[in-house]
């Protein structure tokens, strides 16, 4: 399937910004589940950006923007061809040792509830255990928008019993790591054929390393392994390290942020 993506992030400041330094993880990779056919990023200073791969293998554009005024927009657009591997990414060349993904972060520390969920992983080589974990989390944490903070710890999410895709991913990752299974956070996109209250165009899920299969994805919010409707963007220990945009600025004490994500299937005549 060919999917066209437009991801625009709009900033408005209460005063002019004299300088901004941004790390953009807005370039999806080509891998066993997807091929990037074309991709471009538009924002002031992108033509002078330093481009490199970070420790997790993400493509990063480091931009230094001066005299932005009180508004700024970052737009990433392109077309990705996806394949349905039923969530199995497999074994890929990795810059980061798998054991790094066993380390709990500030957002994935466990509590008694998460440790109980981790007990469902009785055989780390059996994908069925992770499907059980996914279903258990979905029953414990209702999908509800606006009830959690942007970066809420997994333990707090489980206690609250409500959250969105990134919250589901954090709880899943926390339980898997507690069970001794490398797990990582994926930030990406989801193509929606029909309106679904448990899905977002800008989406997040988890991947775990399973013997004989390699990395396998689990989308807790939708109760499935990723399909050709999912587009991987960036990877990290949690939502902070995989964030598409991170940066600092000088000036503009107050910031208003608006994000517009459009994910559409490319029409058949456009593919020919």
Of residues 67, 3, 69, 54, the one with CA closest to residue 24? 54
| 272 has pLDDT over 70 | no
| 82 has pLDDT over 70 | yes
CATH of the domain spanning 84-236: 3.10.620.30
Tens digits of residue pLDDT in 10-43:
999 888 888 889 999 999 999 999 999 999 999 9
The Cα 217–Cα 208 span in angstroms is: 7
Mean pLDDT, the chain, integer: 92
The Cα 229–Cα 226 span in angstroms is: 7
Average pLDDT over residues 116-121: 98
| 147 has pLDDT over 80 | no
Residue 71 is predicted with a pLDDT of 86
Domain 2-81+243-266: CATH class, spelled out: mainly beta
- Portions of the chain given CATH number 2.60.40.2250: 2-81+243-266
């Amino acid at each position: 399937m060919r999917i066209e993506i437009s991801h625009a992030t709009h900033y408005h400041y209460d005063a002019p910004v004299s300088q901004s330094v941004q790390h953009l993880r807005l370039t999806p990779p080509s891998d066993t589940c997807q091929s990037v056919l074309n991709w471009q990023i538009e924002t002031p200073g992108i033509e002078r950006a330093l481009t490199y791969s970070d420790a997790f293998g993400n493509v990063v554009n480091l931009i230094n923007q001066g005299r932005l005024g009180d508004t700024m927009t970052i737009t990433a657009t392109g077309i990705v061809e996806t394949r349905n591997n039923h969530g199995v990414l497999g074994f890929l060349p990795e810059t980061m040792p798998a054991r790094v993904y066993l380390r709990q972060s500030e957002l994935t520390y466990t509590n008694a509830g998460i440790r109980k969920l981790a007990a469902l992983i009785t055989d780390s080589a059996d994908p069925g255990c992770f499907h059980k974990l996914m279903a258990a989390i979905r029953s414990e944490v209702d999908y509800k928008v606006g009830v959690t903070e942007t970066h809420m710890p997994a333990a707090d999410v489980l206690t609250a019993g409500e959250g969105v895709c990134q919250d589901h991913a954090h709880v899943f990752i926390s339980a898997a790591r507690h069970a001794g299974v490398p797990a990582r956070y994926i930030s990406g996109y989801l193509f929606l054929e029909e309106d679904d209250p448990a899905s977002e165009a800008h989406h997040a899920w988890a991947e775990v390393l399973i013997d004989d299969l390699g990395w396998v994805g689990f989308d807790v919010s939708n109760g499935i392994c990723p399909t050709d409707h999912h587009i991987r963007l960036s990877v990290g220990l949690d939502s902070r390290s995989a964030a598409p945009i991170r940066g600092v600025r000088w000036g503009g004490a107050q910031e208003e942020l608006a994000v517009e994500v459009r994910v559409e299937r490319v029409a058949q005549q456009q593919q020919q």
